[in-house]
Structure 1
Amino acid sequence: MPQTIYTAVHHELLIKKSRFIACVQPMADRASAQKIVAELWQQHPGAAHVCWALLAGGQSAAVDDGEPSGTAGRPMLDVLRHQDLEGVLATVVRYFGGVKLGAGGLVRAYTDSVAQALLQAEKIAIIKQRCLICTVPYAMEGLVRREIEIADAVLINVQHASDVQFEFSLPDTIADAFIIRLNEAGHGRISWITPEDE
C-alpha cells in the first residue's frame, strides 16, 4: 500500500570530506519540487550539486545535477520506490570535499543519505477516497447523517432544496458496500448522482 510521510526528515553524511545534506519531505507536484530545489540553491550557494528525486501525483523525476549520470537522482528515486512512497521529494545538497568518490561511492552516498533520513520518517498510508453524492427525501435526512457518521465518512456539503443533497467522501475500499447498505435502508428512495452530472 502506498505511503507518504507526515513531515520533512533530514540527515547529513560526511564521506571523504564531502558533505551530503539530505531532506525527504511531503510534496504535491513537480512545480512545487522545482521551487524547493531553487530555494536550496539560494540557501547553499557554495554547494557543488543539488540532486533530487520526486514521486508525486503520478509524476517521477531523478535529477543528477552535474553528478555522473545515474549516480545521484536514480539511486535516490530507487529508495523512494523501494519504500513504496508517494507524494514525496528527496533532495541532497552536496558540498565537494576535494576527494572523488567514484561512481559506486556516489551511488552509496546518495542512497544512504536518503535511506538514513527516512529512518526518522513517520509514514502514513495513502487511502484512496471516493466522493459520493446522493439526494434523499427530508424524512430520511437523519438516517443518512447517521450512516455517514457510522462509516467515518467526511461530510463535504449538504443542500436543502426539494430534497436533501449530501456530498461526502469515504475510503474507496468501503464505498460500494456503503452504497448497498444505504440503498437497502432507504428502500429505493435514495438517488445517486455521479460527480460529473452535477
Structure 2
Amino acid sequence: MSKDYPVPSGYLERETEVKKSRFIARVYPVSSRDEVREHVARAHQDYPDARHVCWAYQIGRPGSAAEAAMNDDGEPSGTAGKPILNVIQHKDMGDVLVIVVRYFGGIKLGAGGLVRAYAGAAESVLSEVGRTIQQSRVQAEVVLGFADEQPLRHWCDGHEGHIESIQYSNRVNARVSVPQARASEFAAFCDAQKLDYRLET
C-alpha cells in the first residue's frame, strides 16, 4: 500500500463573514504538535482582540492519522473544532492545521449556525490551498567530518533530502530525512564518502 498522501503545499488565509461575525481561516502544513502550538500562538498574537481562536489538525495519513486534535476556544462544545476537523477529514488531507479566528459581530448564530460558519470557513481555505504529495521518508543518523558536511548538503539539495538537525563536536552529527524511494541512493552516497550512517526503518 502506498504511503504517499496529499498535504497542503503552503500557508493560505481566507476571510468569510456570517451575520457580521468575521471568520479568518488559516491553513498550514504541519508535522508536529510543536508546530501546531507555534501557529496557534501566532494567531493569538496577530489577532489579540479576537473573541475565539479555534483550530483542528491531523498529522499523518488521512483515514489513519497518527495524531489529531481540536479546540473550541470558548465556543459551545462541538461547534468549532469538530466541524473544522470534519472538513479536514472530508478533504482527505494529512499533515494539516486549520485555525479559524472569530470576531463576534453582535448577532448570536446559535449552535447550528456556528457549526455551519466554522465548517464554511475551513472549507473556504482548504478548497483553495494547493496540494502536494507527501512521500514517505526515512530518517538517517550520519556522523561525518567537517569537510564532509558540504558534500552531504549538496547531495540533499539534489535528491529531496532534508537535514533535520546538525550538531557539532569533534565530529559532525547530522539527522537527515530522505524519500523512501531514494534510501538506497543515500546509502550508496554515504558508502562512497566513507560516512558512518544508520538508516532507521
TM bracket, shorter-chain basis: 0.5 to 0.7
Task: Give the letter aligned to residue 199 of structure 2.
Answer: P
Task: Give the letter aligned to residue 35 of structure 1.
Answer: E
> Normalized against structure 2, the TM-score is what?
0.66
Residues in 2 aligned to 1:131 and 1:47: alpha-carbon distance in whole angstroms:
40
Q: Match for residue 51 of structure 1?
A: 54
Question: What do the CA deviations read for 1:66-123 (whole angstroms, capped 9, x no partner)?
Answer: 0010110011011111112111110000000111101111111111111111222110
Q: Is the 8 A contact 1:4 1:124 kept in 2?
A: yes
Q: Match for residue 19 of structure 1?
A: 22
Runs of 4+ more than 2 Å apart: 129-132, 152-156, 167-172, 193-197
Summarize the Cα distance change of 1:94–1:169 in structure 2 as closer, same or farther, 3 Å threshold. closer
Residues in 2 aligned to 1:44 and 1:170: alpha-carbon distance in whole angstroms:
38
Q: Is the 8 A contact 1:55 1:86 kept in 2?
A: yes
Matched, 1:195 2:183: no
1:25-174 aligned within 5 A = 25-57=28-60, 58-130=66-138, 169-171=178-180
Summarize the Cα distance change of 1:170–1:78 in structure 2 as closer, same or farther, 3 Å threshold. same
Q: How far has the Cα of 1:195 moved from its partner?
A: 2.9
Summarize the Cα distance change of 1:77–1:171 in structure 2 as closer, same or farther, 3 Å threshold. same
Task: Give the letter aligned to residue 74 of structure 2.
Answer: G
Residues in 2 aligned to 1:119 and 1:36: alpha-carbon distance in whole angstroms:
20
Residues in 2 aligned to 1:155 and 1:16: alpha-carbon distance in whole angstroms:
48
Summarize the Cα distance change of 1:128–1:44 in structure 2 as closer, same or farther, 3 Å threshold. same
Task: Give the letter aligned to residue 78 of structure 2.
Answer: G
Say which of 5, 8, 12 aligns to 2:11.
Answer: 8
Summarize the Cα distance change of 1:168–1:73 in structure 2 as closer, same or farther, 3 Å threshold. closer
Residues in 2 aligned to 1:29 and 1:195: alpha-carbon distance in whole angstroms:
21
* Cα RMSD after superposing both structures: 3.1
Residues in 1 aligned to 2:38 and 2:200: alpha-carbon distance in whole angstroms:
33
Q: How far has the Cα of 1:50 moved from its partner?
A: 0.1
Q: Structure 1: which 5+ residue stretches go unaligned? A: 133-151, 157-166, 179-192
Residues in 2 aligned to 1:195 and 1:68: alpha-carbon distance in whole angstroms:
47
Q: Is the 8 A contact 1:30 1:54 kept in 2?
A: no
Aligned residues: 154
Q: Match for residue 190 of structure 2?
A: none
Q: How far has the Cα of 1:37 moved from its partner?
A: 1.2
Task: Give the letter aligned to residue 195 of structure 1.
Answer: L
Residues in 1 aligned to 2:97 and 2:200: alpha-carbon distance in whole angstroms:
32
> Normalized against structure 1, the TM-score is what?
0.67
Summarize the Cα distance change of 1:65–1:169 in structure 2 as closer, same or farther, 3 Å threshold. closer
Matched-pair identity in %: 40
Summarize the Cα distance change of 1:89–1:170 in structure 2 as closer, same or farther, 3 Å threshold. closer
Residue 91 of structure 1 aligns to a residue whose secondary structure is: strand
Q: Is the 8 A contact 2:137 2:177 kept in 1?
A: no
Bigger-Rg structure (1/2): 1
Residues in 1 aligned to 2:51 and 2:161: alpha-carbon distance in whole angstroms:
50
Task: Give the letter aligned to residue 50 of structure 2.
Answer: A
